[in-house]
Structures are given as C-alpha cells and as structure tokens.
C-alpha cells in the first residue's frame, strides 16, 4: 500500500464520540487567502457549525501569499511523501496547523505547488496543484488520525476529493467518511486534456469515460468527476440549484447535473455577523446600529466622499458596487447605461478588479464625471467596509449569481440592494412593493440594461421623494436575519442524514 494511503501514522487529535465531525476542503479561506465569496464561506460556515456543536477541521494549501503573521502562528504537525502521478512520481506533504476560535486549520505545505500565484495562476499550473491538494488532503486526515463523518469539499479545486475517496482511500480510515461537494460557482470547472489529468491524478482509466471525467473526445473535467462521485451535491441557493440544470446557467454541465438531481440541494449562504457588524466595525469612521443608523450613515457617507474625492453632500444618492469585474457581475448592463446612472443627485462608487475592459471603462467614466464617480480599481477590504456603510444603495445586476454575499452585507449595513432576480439574489432580496412599502430592495428580472436603469430610478425616486419609506427599508434590511445560523442548521441536517444512511 502506498504511503499516502496507509491507514495511519503518528499524530492524533482525537475527536469526541458521536460529535458530528466535518472536514472542510477548499482552495481559499479568509483571513488567510480570499479572492471572493468562497473565502468568506470557508471562514464563516465552520465557525457557525462549531457554535452548533460540530467539530471542524479546515484544510487549505499553504500558499506563499498567506501573510507572514499567520505563518508565524502555525505549528508543524508532521510530513510524509505521497505518490501522485501515473508514473509513480511522489511529492512532499507537510502539515502546518493553526487553531483560531475553535476551528483547526491545517495548511498543506509544498513549495513546488504553492509558491506561485495569488493564489491562482492559470489552468496549466492549477490543475496539477489541485490534483495534488485533493489527494494530499485525504492523506493528511489519515496521517492525523482525524477521521471525519463528512468531508465537505468546495468548488472544482476540491472536486477530485470525492473521486479519490472512493477510488484510492476505500479501506483506509478516511474511506468511512461520506462526501459533499458544494458548487460556489459552476463557471470554473478545471478542464484540461484527458492525458494531462490522467498523468497528474494517477487515477485508473475507467474513470476517464463520460459518466465521470470525460466531457469531450479529448477533454476531462475535474468538477464533473467530483459531482458524479460525491454523495451529495449542494449549491449556495435554491434558485441556482434549479438554474444550473438549464442550458443557460448550466455551463455545459446542465445534463450531468440534471442526471444527478436527486442528490442536488440548494442551501443559501449567510454572512459572519460578527465580522460584518456596523456597530463594532473598526474600519468605519462612524460605527452605527439600528438605533442611530439614519444619523450616522450620513457621517460615513461624508467620510467616504471625502476619501474618494467626491463632492461632499449627504443628500446625494450614493450607489456602491463592490465586485470582481467580470461579465458574470452584469457589468455590461452597467456600462450600457452608465451615463444615465449619474446625475446631479447621484454619485457612483466602484470598487473592484478584474477584466481590463471593465477597469478601463470605469476609469473613463470617473474621468468624465469628476466629483460624481469614483472607480477604485483595487482589492481593498477596508474600503469595501466603508462603501457598505457609506453608500445608500448597492448594485448587484449579475448575469448569474450562485448566492452573492455583497447584497447580504449591504442589507446588514442598512444599504439597500438593487439586484437582478437570479440565483441567490432572487432568494435573499424581496422586491420593494410600492403599495404597502414592504421589501428589502429593488429588483429586475430579464438581463436588460433598461430594466437595470428602471430599478435604479425606482430606488432613487423612493430615496429622494419618499424618505420615510426608504428609512423603513433601511431598518428592515438591518433587522433581516442574514446570519449563518439557519443555513448551518440545514447543513447539519444534511450531514446527519449522510451519517445515518
């Protein structure tokens, strides 16, 4: 039996009996490394599970880009060599550990794979990197003698875990675990040539046929294989779970997902309400709660305008956009109507990085509208907090949105979301009802620029002409439960169902 598949070696962080023990495996986790919502979920859901009595271990790569202050807190837990490739090529697996607020984080150390990227590079390097990571994660659980009831894998980077679990680790201690694969974003799937994946996984030929990895004559798809082998597949909202079974949203895997629909379930994300708390947020010039939001939000707005070089006027309607700048986020719609979004009563603040065509377009609009538009082309955690607090509305007009966190954060900060009715945006933002004043935000359905503009204008009209109604919505949004508690309980039900099966 190869070293990585041995039953156990030394180590041993024993688990209390009958506790529900879950291993999280994914490619990013706040505060160590985050490029988007996956990083938030890998941080917040384990903490919520621990509050509800589960034991959780989070396994992520020890990327070079993880800040030194965290590396300094890690302790060495052991190392071994693991065979990986078709030709038996073996790699070093080191384990560095850090415990934070009851969650154990195990970082897999291998400089050959994890010294590059931020944390991703390009598929050519990322495919071998995450083949290695998926197999090493299971080997690490055996090595540490910490055998979870359920292994909860996230996105394509951990997509091979359910396959390795059955094809290589059956009969080893970790083989008793069940697996869940969560789709945070189906657009990214880990697709490469069949021979490339065969080489790097070392997995047997029978897996490279259509039911598992194969997706075209010469292409293999890591996510597709994981979805086939996982005991359950979840995604991050009920609407997205339905949408991905259709051609438009299915990214080529709609048929595969429809075939596996009996094990597919949508559980909406929450946010960490301690991390995102406007009353204790140290990054805000004027922290506030529901009791003083109407007054103090103005101060945050004035400070934001000052910081970004916008005309300082608390009466302006400030629209924020905090986003990766990719076509997924509906930026073609924003571009199409941008000149009409801005007027003498309205300012727009954009924070994001990504596709140069959007970065350049927003820089152009900033130049054209000095004092009314700011395009901050950066990833900047502190400014994101200040925009959530200082803006009146947050724009999320996505083409597709598995769940979306920014609209949840916005509501928690009393900032009214303007969203397209897709995926989790549809499930979390109840449209404003002009008749009775109920709702959480302004919405539009079809992916059309005029409809986006109409939604913004409807919001602006309520803000400027019916402030009482607007303020009620601000308070209603702040009171809305966007925490993880409810969703974590649904995950625990799913874990228990698998444990009892």
Site residues for ligand ADP per CB under 6 A: 36-37, 40, 322-324, 351-353, 379-381, 384, 404-406
Q: How far is CA 115 from CA 5, 105, 124, 125, 131, in A?
A: 26, 19, 15, 11, 16
Within 8 A by CB and 6+ apart from 248, the residues are none
Residue nearest to ligand ADP (CB): 37
Question: Cβ 234 to ligand ADP, closest distance in Å?
Answer: 15
- Cis omega before residue 261 (within 30°)? no
Closest CA to 147 of 130, 164, 172: 172
Question: Cβ 323 to ligand ADP, closest distance in Å?
Answer: 5
Question: Cβ 432 to ligand ADP, closest distance in Å?
Answer: 21
Query: Is 164 or 365 the residue whose CB approaches ligand ADP more closely?
Result: 365
Query: Is 220 or 403 the residue whose CB approaches ligand ADP more closely?
Result: 403
Query: Is 40 or 149 the residue whose CB approaches ligand ADP more closely?
Result: 40
Question: Cβ 108 to ligand ADP, closest distance in Å?
Answer: 23
Question: Cβ 375 to ligand ADP, closest distance in Å?
Answer: 11
Using CA atoms, how far apart are residues 82 and 2, in angstroms rounded to an integer?
A: 8
Query: Is 37 or 226 the residue whose CB approaches ligand ADP more closely?
Result: 37
Question: Cβ 198 to ligand ADP, closest distance in Å?
Answer: 31
167-199 residues labelled b (16+ CB within 10 A) or e (exposed) = bbbeebebbebbbbbbbbbbebbbbbebebbbb
Within 8 A by CB and 6+ apart from 481, the residues are none
Question: Cβ 380 to ligand ADP, closest distance in Å?
Answer: 5
Contact between residue 416 and residue 410 where contact means Cβ atoms under 8 Å apart: yes
Query: Is 135 or 154 the residue whose CB approaches ligand ADP more closely?
Result: 154
Strands 55-61 and 103-109: parallel
Using CA atoms, how far apart are residues 480 and 391, in angstroms rounded to an integer?
A: 18
Question: Cβ 404 to ligand ADP, closest distance in Å?
Answer: 4
Question: Cβ 207 to ligand ADP, closest distance in Å?
Answer: 29
- Cis omega before residue 31 (within 30°)? yes
First to last CA, the chain: 29
Query: Is 107 or 413 the residue whose CB approaches ligand ADP more closely?
Result: 413
Q: How far is CA 465 from CA 203, 372, 378, 395, 433, in A?
A: 64, 21, 34, 20, 16
Using CA atoms, how far apart are residues 229 and 175, in angstroms rounded to an integer?
A: 13
């Amino acid at each position: 039996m190869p070293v990585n598949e041995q039953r156990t070696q030394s180590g041993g962080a024993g688990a209390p009996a009958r506790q529900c023990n879950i291993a999280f495996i994914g490619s990013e986790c706040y505060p160590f490394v985050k490029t988007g919502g996956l990083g938030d979920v890998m941080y917040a859901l384990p903490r919520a599970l621990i509050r509800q009595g589960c034991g959780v271990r989070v396994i992520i790569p020890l990327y070079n880009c993880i800040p030194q202050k965290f590396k300094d807190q890690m302790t060495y837990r052991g190392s071994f060599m693991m065979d990986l490739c078709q030709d038996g090529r073996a790699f070093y697996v080191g384990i560095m550990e850090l415990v934070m607020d009851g969650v154990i984080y195990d970082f897999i150390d291998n400089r050959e794979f994890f010294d590059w990227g931020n944390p991703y590079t390009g598929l050519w390097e990322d495919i071998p990197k995450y083949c290695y990571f998926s197999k090493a994660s299971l080997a690490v659980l055996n090595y540490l003698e910490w055998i979870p009831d359920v292994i909860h894998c996230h996105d394509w980077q951990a997509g091979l875990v359910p396959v390795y679990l059955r094809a290589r680790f059956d009969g080893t201690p970790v083989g008793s675990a069940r697996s869940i694969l969560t789709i945070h974003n189906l657009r990214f799937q880990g697709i490469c040539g069949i021979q490339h994946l065969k080489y790097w996984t070392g997995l047997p030929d029978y897996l490279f046929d259509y039911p598992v990895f194969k997706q075209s004559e010469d292409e293999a798809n890591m996510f597709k294989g994981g979805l086939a082998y996982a005991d359950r597949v979840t995604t991050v909202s009920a609407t997205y779970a339905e949408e991905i079974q259709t051609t438009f949203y299915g990214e080529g895997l709609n048929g595969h997902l429809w075939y596996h629909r009996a094990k597919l379930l949508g559980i909406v994300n929450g946010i960490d309400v301690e991390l995102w708390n406007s009353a204790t947020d140290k990054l805000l010039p004027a922290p506030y709660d529901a009791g003083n939001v109407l007054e103090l939000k103005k101060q945050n707005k004035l400070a934001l305008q000052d910081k970004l070089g916008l005309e300082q006027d608390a009466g302006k309607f400030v629209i924020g956009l905090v986003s990766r700048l990719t076509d997924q986020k509906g930026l073609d719609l924003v571009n199409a109507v941008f000149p009409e979004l801005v007027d003498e009563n309205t300012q727009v603040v954009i924070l994001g990085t990504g596709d140069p065509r959007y970065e350049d377009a927003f820089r152009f609009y900033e130049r054209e509208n000095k004092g009314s538009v700011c395009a901050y082309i950066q990833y900047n955690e502190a400014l994101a907090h200040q925009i959530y607090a200082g803006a009146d509305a947050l724009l999320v007009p996505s083409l597709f949105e598995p769940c979306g966190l920014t609209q949840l954060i916005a509501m928690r900060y009393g900032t009214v979301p303007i969203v397209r009715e897709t995926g989790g945006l549809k499930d979390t933002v109840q449209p404003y009802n002009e008749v009775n004043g109920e709702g959480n935000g302004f919405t539009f359905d079809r992916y059309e620029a005029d409809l986006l503009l109409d939604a913004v204008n409807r919001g602006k009209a309520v803000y400027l002409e019916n402030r009482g109604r607007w303020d009620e919505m601000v308070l209603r949004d702040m009171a809305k439960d966007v925490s993880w508690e409810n969703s974590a309980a649904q995950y625990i039900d799913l874990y228990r169902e698998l444990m009892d099966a």
